[in-house]
Amino acid sequence: MADPSDRRYHYPFINCTNCGPRFTIIQDIPYDRPYTTMSGFQLCPECKAEYNDPTDRRFHAQPVACPTCGPHIWLEARSNPAPLAEHEEAIQQARALILEGKILAVRGLGGFHLACDGTNSQVVEKLRERKLRVGKPFALMFPTLKAIEEHCLLTDEDRMLIASRERPIVIVPKRPESPIVDQVSPGQNTLGVMLPYTPLHVLLLEPDKGYPAALVMTSGNLSDEPIATSNQEAREKLSRLADAFLLHNREIETRCDDSVMRNIPGSGRYPLRRSRGYAPNPIRTQWQLPQILATGAELKNTFCLTKGQYAFLSHHIGDLENYETLTSFEDGIAHFQRLFRVTPEVIAYDLHPDYLSTRYAKQRAADDGLPAYGIQHHHAHIAACMAENNIPAEEPVIGLSYDGTGYGTDGTIWGGEVLISTYRSFHRDFFVKPVPLPGGDAAIKQPWRVAVSWLLAAGLEPNQDIPFLSSIKEDEVASLEKQIFSMVNAPYTSSMGRLFDAAAAIVGVRNQVNYEAQAAIEFEALVDPKESGEYPFSLKDGHIDLAPMIRELVMDVQTSLATGKVAAKFHNTIAEVSRQVCLLIRDQQSINQVALSGGVWQNMVLLERTMAKLQHAGFEVLVHHQVPSNDGGLALGQAVITHFTLKN
């Protein structure tokens, strides 16, 4: 691509048998050109010769192409589908627009990105406004690993992961002196970075004097919808978001978002979103599995199909909260069934009756006359972690399932669970002593409401002496109190995720959030690494009672202890709770393996401190390396549990 004498010089679709698209262009198997979105492009004689030559690197490379016979790119202005420029000229004009501070919709491998200058605060702010996205970090693409090093602090593990063939977004610490503007990841001390993963990206990112060191590359979608894949969809849906469109005519059969990973120091990669580059590669299990369809959860949905030893966990589908995402979910299942020749014999779903994935599962089971099993959310988290760590059948583990929300077997909302688990069954040995969640799911957006509930549970008056309440009207607090005491629309929850939100609110991080877990994420970023103190708590009758912690934490806040110290003490306490619970269980039941799963374990401070404490106490600690600890890994656990349920 860099050789001016080559016929594919600067060709944005150059590829060989080792690179190029596959999952996003395949329509059916066998993987042959007629069954891909390349079928409409007739190979020219030169490309055909390469394709047929066993000694050529393009031998049977299905997407092989060149400027003569293959797809091409062009640039369009907003609301005017006449090309402004094509080929090389389109790239040059696109780069000029980026430099001018414009926002570009770029059609990529698995969907559209919105791209802009990551060093220009005005355009990043404009992108946030147009995308209606407040606070949630944007990913950045850099031209080279060396460029990333200039802005971020990398370990060897980070370098390898960033440069790996899967090219995920990797979350790494930002150098304080980096000119990447704060609007890229507000309130955080990390950046999500990646390298170009298609020739088009290489051309768009190529370093030049005065050209931005990095581009924001965020998914091209309307807030909660799936990313756009077709040119027409982009023209319709992204016209208010982008100033211009960099398009091509290689159709995207399957939408596929960028994967997001990080490293646990010394322990390896830790997926946050497993998608492009990883899906649909199967996870190999130790069993012969029947053909199971597991439909996953609601947020960060993935589904899973099994066959033989393999669990085919899907690409990231997204939050199943609207028609577009549901369609993507249904199409995805049909596509996977066709690609892997799976015909489900049994269906697994989450116990939550209102999840669209649950409704789909029940309807499908009824339509096809299939057995279907409801799987408890937190058991599924732990089973996913056990399965990818090859824990043998019947071997129990202590499962610390710390999560946002999940439907419990008693109809309450769980999320701070210590489950003695095998694949077959689980026992809830300990859980966070529940508090009312006023407003139910709506409380997720308003951590101050959960904080008030925790104050009351700790026997404290929610009055204006506690700084976070000074900005909230007294009658609003009073009516919330009334709601909590009358138990109207205030289900009990043991959720650890909500506890983190509550603590973050009490120390003054924020009272409202713009995206899930924002308060907890910003709270984590504040932790003072030098502070080793802890708060009191008690373990009794299966309850983890954290009211004593809340009482002291509030005292710390009222006596103006530095926020970083309070944040550290809080995180240390939850790690210590975990250690003591595991010690108690080991004494009684001689179980030495501990599995950590659930969305709260995306908190790296908590994860690292808990792992250290448990390992120091001699426990074998199981963490995720293949699938996310959040709901994106849930379907794997549902599938494995269903296998063992059937064997009963």
Torsion of CA 117, 513, 515, 173, to 10 degrees: 50
The C-alpha atoms of residue 406 and residue 226 are separated, in whole angstroms, by 23
Q: How many other CB atoms are found less than 10 A from the CB of residue 298?
A: 20
**Nearer residue to Zn ion within complex by CB, 151 or 250:** 250
The phi and psi torsions of 455 (rounded to 5 degrees) equal -60, -50
**Nearer residue to Fe ion within complex by CB, 258 or 403:** 403
The C-alpha atoms of residue 403 and residue 597 are separated, in whole angstroms, by 8
Give the binding range for Zn ion (CB under 5 A) out of 61-69, 171-179, 303-311, 616-624.
61-69
- Number of residues located near Zn ion, criterion CB under 5 A: 5
For residue 383, the partner it binds in Fe ion, Zn ion, none, with Cβ less than 5 to 8 A by kind, is none
Helix axes 447-457, 496-506, angle to 10 degrees: 90
DSSP code string of 101-156: T--EEEE-SSSEEEEEETT-HHHHHHHHHHHT--SPPPEEE-SSHHHHHHHB---H
Q: With CA atoms as reference, report the closest residue to 220 among 328, 138, 300.
A: 138
Q: How many other CB atoms are found less than 10 A from the CB of residue 542?
A: 12
**Nearer residue to Fe ion within complex by CB, 109 or 384:** 384
**Nearer residue to Zn ion within complex by CB, 71 or 118:** 71
For residue 69, the partner it binds in Fe ion, Zn ion, none, with Cβ less than 5 to 8 A by kind, is Zn ion
Q: How many residues does the chain have?
A: 648
What's the min distance (Å) between Cβ of 456 and Fe ion?
A: 26
**Nearer residue to Fe ion within complex by CB, 275 or 630:** 630
Q: With CA atoms as reference, report the closest residue to 409 among 491, 349, 352.
A: 352
For residue 552, the partner it binds in Zn ion, Fe ion, none, with Cβ less than 5 to 8 A by kind, is none
Query: Counting contacts by CB under 5 A, is residue 61 touching Zn ion?
Result: no
**Binder of Zn ion out of 25, 47, 502, 575 (CB under 5 A):** 47
Q: Is the dihedral of CA 282, 286, 292, 297 positive or negative?
A: negative
Give the binding range for Zn ion (CB under 5 A) out of 64-72, 400-408, 429-437, 630-638.
64-72
For residue 539, the partner it binds in Fe ion, Zn ion, none, with Cβ less than 5 to 8 A by kind, is none
Residue 280, preceding peptide bond in cis (omega within 30° of 0)? yes
For residue 44, the partner it binds in Zn ion, Fe ion, none, with Cβ less than 5 to 8 A by kind, is Zn ion
Query: Counting contacts by CB under 5 A, is residue 14 touching Zn ion?
Result: no
What's the min distance (Å) between Cβ of 404 and Fe ion?
A: 6
What's the min distance (Å) between Cβ of 11 and Zn ion?
A: 10
Q: With CA atoms as reference, report the closest residue to 231 among 93, 107, 327.
A: 107
Q: Which residues bind Fe ion (CB under 5 A)?
A: 403, 631
Only one residue has tokens 């059916």, namely 28
For residue 350, the partner it binds in Zn ion, Fe ion, none, with Cβ less than 5 to 8 A by kind, is none
Only one residue has tokens 């709901």, namely 631
The C-alpha atoms of residue 378 and residue 408 are separated, in whole angstroms, by 8
Which residue type does 276 have? R
Query: Counting contacts by CB under 5 A, is residue 66 touching Zn ion?
Result: yes
For residue 646, the partner it binds in Fe ion, Zn ion, none, with Cβ less than 5 to 8 A by kind, is none
516 is written with which tokens?
A: 């899930």
Question: 182 with 121: CB under 8 angstroms?
Answer: yes
For residue 631, the partner it binds in Zn ion, Fe ion, none, with Cβ less than 5 to 8 A by kind, is Fe ion
**Nearer residue to Fe ion within complex by CB, 554 or 635:** 635
What's the min distance (Å) between Cβ of 406 and Fe ion?
A: 5
Question: 167 with 145: CB under 8 angstroms?
Answer: no
Question: 572 with 533: CB under 8 angstroms?
Answer: yes
**Nearer residue to Zn ion within complex by CB, 67 or 277:** 67
**Nearer residue to Fe ion within complex by CB, 418 or 550:** 418
What's the min distance (Å) between Cβ of 417 and Fe ion?
A: 10
Burial class (CB in 10 A: 0-12, 13-18, 19+), 146: exposed
**Nearer residue to Zn ion within complex by CB, 13 or 570:** 13
Give the binding range for Zn ion (CB under 5 A) out of 58-66, 270-278, 464-472, 633-641.
58-66
For residue 403, the partner it binds in Zn ion, Fe ion, none, with Cβ less than 5 to 8 A by kind, is Fe ion
The C-alpha atoms of residue 533 and residue 517 are separated, in whole angstroms, by 24
User: Which residue in the shown chain puts its C-beta closest to Fe ion?
Assistant: 403
Helix axes 447-457, 474-486, angle to 10 degrees: 60
The C-alpha atoms of residue 31 and residue 23 are separated, in whole angstroms, by 10
Query: Counting contacts by CB under 5 A, is residue 38 touching Zn ion?
Result: no
Question: 152 with 175: CB under 8 angstroms?
Answer: yes
Query: Counting contacts by CB under 5 A, is residue 52 touching Zn ion?
Result: no
273 is written with which tokens?
A: 């979103």
**Nearer residue to Zn ion within complex by CB, 69 or 202:** 69
**Nearer residue to Fe ion within complex by CB, 196 or 633:** 633
**Binder of Zn ion out of 16, 19, 69, 617 (CB under 5 A):** 69
Give the binding range for Zn ion (CB under 5 A) out of 36-44, 220-228, 265-273, 301-309.
36-44
**Nearer residue to Zn ion within complex by CB, 66 or 507:** 66
**Binder of Zn ion out of 32, 34, 40, 68 (CB under 5 A):** 68
Distances (CA, A) of 593 to 397, 515, 524, 596, 618: 5, 34, 26, 10, 9
What's the min distance (Å) between Cβ of 495 and Fe ion?
A: 10
Give the binding range for Zn ion (CB under 5 A) out of 66-74, 129-137, 334-342, 577-585.
66-74
501 is written with which tokens?
A: 């939100």
What's the min distance (Å) between Cβ of 628 and Fe ion?
A: 10
User: Which residue in the shown chain puts its C-beta closest to Zn ion?
Assistant: 47
What's the min distance (Å) between Cβ of 598 and Fe ion?
A: 5
Only one residue has tokens 């809080």, namely 570
What's the min distance (Å) between Cβ of 379 and Fe ion?
A: 11
**Binder of Zn ion out of 16, 19, 44, 584 (CB under 5 A):** 44
Which residues contribute to the site for Zn ion (CB under 5 A)?
A: 44, 47, 66, 68-69
